[in-house]
Structure 1
């Protein structure tokens, strides 16, 4: 049985990823700044295979302590899902320096440090592994009000390709880039704009969480030769 770390798992996609992996008999250690009832429910339903804690991903000491505790409880992790992120809903000129720094710290610097810690532990344990980062179609297409957010997600496209070469197949490292979906970027758009995006999408609708779970699960668990790739799931809207 694999053991996976999932960041930003309090609700939405992160919580759904954790639950989906648990159903596949994967032991899961998940964290978020504020644990939720959904996380507590998973403990009840998957006793012994699920561990969670309140951890701010931008606190490297807390992250390190969580990884150590997760290893003690569930065994060394051989899979990582970088899901924690914060959004943006303002033009660059109207975004405060403090918020810009927070976006970069949460979406880029902190998950990069988490990935570093995960990989070092993987080396120590002598394991092979998988990493999936949740990116965004914003990295590939421009949208107003999302410049800093898009920059952090675009950076992960590059990091994914570089890390895949660094690890020479010992760790398969990929990125899943969702299109607009309810729990993420659509919050910054008006209802009319969201509806227009849906009409322009070849499938006729925005992305839903169940559209993403099989792709993430495949990259983490299946015997594939997929490595260093950014897989866009947006119904063909960016084609």
Structure 2
């Protein structure tokens, strides 16, 4: 991750102990930042340079307050927050219990908004303000069957980003990064079922075949986007949503007719001189 220098900056990544969050935390640490990560359980392994772990459930307001107070006490500031913690298991909307739906909305919408509110209060007191980033999802921009509450929460989050960018300007910039499926253990198992023999690999290959880029997103792809948006290179970006979907999805009518295979054939053909 060359070209970015976050020396002297203090960064918090929620859900930063694994998957996308761990990739983001590592990228900022390698760029020189002092990085804190939070989660309900400590990481099983720590990269080098290792971020500082604080046990906290982002759904607990008291835990959020204690988390931010500790960071301010130890460093005196907070420059960048990446609201990454989130997710939801597959559940058909007709069968989801009220408790399940409420839990999904709380984790993916209410918790990041409450953390952002408190982080903003700290950043507004700083001469150079700060940056708030939210990890959204393409599920908030299209149909999200099997994860309807999750998609609705992410859609709400993306709308909130635009509102917060207006309310908290000019000191605090607010942006979102919305990836499609990212190749992490939690995400891919939810789309391919339990891994056994070659079943999961076959399922992932089928998913990749629907993506123009020919592959799933990697945590490093999301981390690179966060580095850019949090940097001075994106100083005029606020209220923005950077969509990372590798070219999007093949339209259903093309997949149904098989015409999408022509694009794949063109991509594999040698370039003409």
TM-score of the superposition, structure 2-length normalised?
Answer: 0.80
Indicate the residue corresponding to 1:2 in structure 2: 9
2:210 paired residue number: 200
Is the Cα–Cα contact under 8 Å of residues 51 and 70 in structure 1 kept in the other structure?
A: no
Alignment partner for residue 24 of structure 1, among 26, 31, 50?
Answer: 31
CA contact (8 A) 2:136 2:157 kept: yes
Structure 1 residue 194: deviation in Å?
4.3
Q: Shift of the alpha carbon at 1:200?
A: 2.0
Change (3 A) 1:46 1:9: same
Q: Assess if the C-alpha contact under 8 Å between 1:10 and 1:35 holds in 2.
A: yes
SS in 1 for 2:209: helix
**More off after superposition, 187-196 vs 111-120:** 187-196
Q: Which runs of at least 4 in structure 1 moved beyond 4 Å after TM superposition?
A: 191-194
Shifted more, 184-193 versus 104-113: the winner is 184-193
Counterparts of 1:16 and 1:236, CA distance in 2: 22
Tell me the C-alpha RMSD between the 2 structures. Answer: 1.8
Alignment of 1:235 with 2:250, yes or no, is no
Unaligned runs of 5+ in 1: none
> In the aligned structure 1, how far is the partner of 2:100 from the partner of 2:183?
22
Compute the TM-score of the two structures, normalised by the length of structure 1. Answer: 0.90
Aligned pair count?
A: 233
CA distance in 2, matches of 1:99, 1:211: 31
The farther-off stretch of 189-198 and 123-132 is 189-198
Q: Which 5+ residue runs of structure 2 have no aligned equivalent?
A: 1-7, 193-199, 251-273
Structure whose CA Rg is larger: 2
The equivalent residue for 2:67 is 66
Alignment of 1:108-123 (within 5 A): 108-123=109-124
